[in-house]
Amino acid sequence: MTGRGAARRVTLLALLAVLAAWPWLAPYFAIFLMTEILILGLFAASFNLLFGYTGLLSFGHAAYFGTGAYVAALLLRDMAPPFLAVLAAAAVGAAVVALVIGWFSVRLTEVYFAMLTLAFGMMVYALVHQWRGLTGGSDGVAGFPLTAPLPGVAVNIADPVNYYYLTLILVAVSAYVLHRITVSPFGLILRSLRENSERASFAGVPVRRYRLAAFVVSGLFSGLAGALFAPFNRIAVPEMAHWTQSAEPVLMTILGGSQYFFGPFLGAGVFLLLRQWITSYTQEWMFFLGVILAFLVVFLPRGLLGLFDRWLGGRS
């Protein structure tokens, strides 16, 4: 077991080294691609705190991703505070939205929970789409400056390489925090809810309160991902809050393996690489993605990491 722990640590360090050297190793366009993989990987990992660890399938996570994107874009457009303050405000804003939506949603479970989160997600989308005075409707929010990360830190994050590094640092720190949460006593309670919420309540766990806590933490990091995504695209558009955006973390997580902490990150990478690759041949990339996903769900129910795990023998 310590052997596996050490192997995992070495793999992780090697991965971080590759990511740190990425702008030198890879062609220019791949810097954008990797930035997107990191951001959507964080989004999927946040989603998976709720799905893989707490056992709640949300179909409305674009609500928090979109909230993060819009709070960031609007703050940059109207007030232009330091960029890290923008990210913090966007994450907290998304957490507040998650607190409100979660307060209603955690009363239900399974398909009812999924439907309720989907319904709330559609409401947030409608709000973003219709409230033209604030959000610019379907035009979105664009034309905002990218401010310095902190006062006195004169790094130009409009440079794609700098934005990549900013993203890498924030995603790495967030992933570390999320991982600590999953192995903490709090995380143990969340896993017990996934396994058997009835037994948990008869072990003294106030089930709804813990589900809500997981929901809010998940929303917070989803919001941070959204707040990194809008400036990356130089625009916040309603599609970032649309239910199709909610589907992405679900697909990525299932692709990578929901029972593994890094499953969502791997899933995000494979998802975006597949999209990149298939769209270079055809516009109908969703069809081929559908074929691949159907294949994976049937033959690899535990995702790609589940497959690696089987090759290596035994479970982690």
How many residues make contact with other proteins (CB under 8 A)? 25
Instruction: Report 195-214 residues binding other proteins (CB under 8 A).
Output: 195-196, 198-207, 210
- Rg of the Cα atoms in the chain: 19
Q: CB atoms < 10 A from the CB of 168, how many?
A: 18
**Binding of other proteins by 7 (CB under 8 A):** no
DSSP states of 240-282 as a string?
A: GGSHHHHHHHHHHHHHH-TTSTTHHHHHHHHHHHHHHHHHTT-
Applying the rule CB under 8 A, the residues between 129 and 168 that interact with other proteins are none
Q: Is 92 in the site for other proteins (CB under 8 A)?
A: no
Nearest residue to 64 via CA among 35, 24, 92, 26:
92
Smaller CB distance to other proteins: residue 133 or 204?
204
Instruction: Quote the least distance from Cβ 259 to other proteins, whole Å.
Output: 8
> Alpha-carbon distance 91 to 167, whole Å?
14
Query: How far is residue 277's CA from residue 271's CA, in Å, rounded to a whole number?
Result: 10
Q: How far is the CB of 2 from other proteins (least distance, A)?
A: 13
Q: Are the C-beta atoms of residues 80 and 147 closer than 8 Å to each other?
A: yes
Q: Tell whether residue 173 is a contact of other proteins (CB under 8 A).
A: no
Q: Kindly tell me which of 153 and 177 has the beta carbon lying closer to other proteins.
A: 177
- Give the one residue of 68, 102, 140, 187 binding other proteins; rule: CB under 8 A: 187
Q: What are phi and psi of 279, to 5 degrees?
A: -70, -15
Of residues 204-263, those binding other proteins (CB under 8 A): 204-207, 210
In angstroms, what is the minimal distance from the CB of 203 to other proteins? Answer: 4
CA distance 183 to 230: 31
Q: Least distance to other proteins from the beta carbon of 188, Å?
A: 5
- Residues found near other proteins in the complex (CB under 8 A): 180-181, 183-189, 191-192, 194-196, 198-207, 210
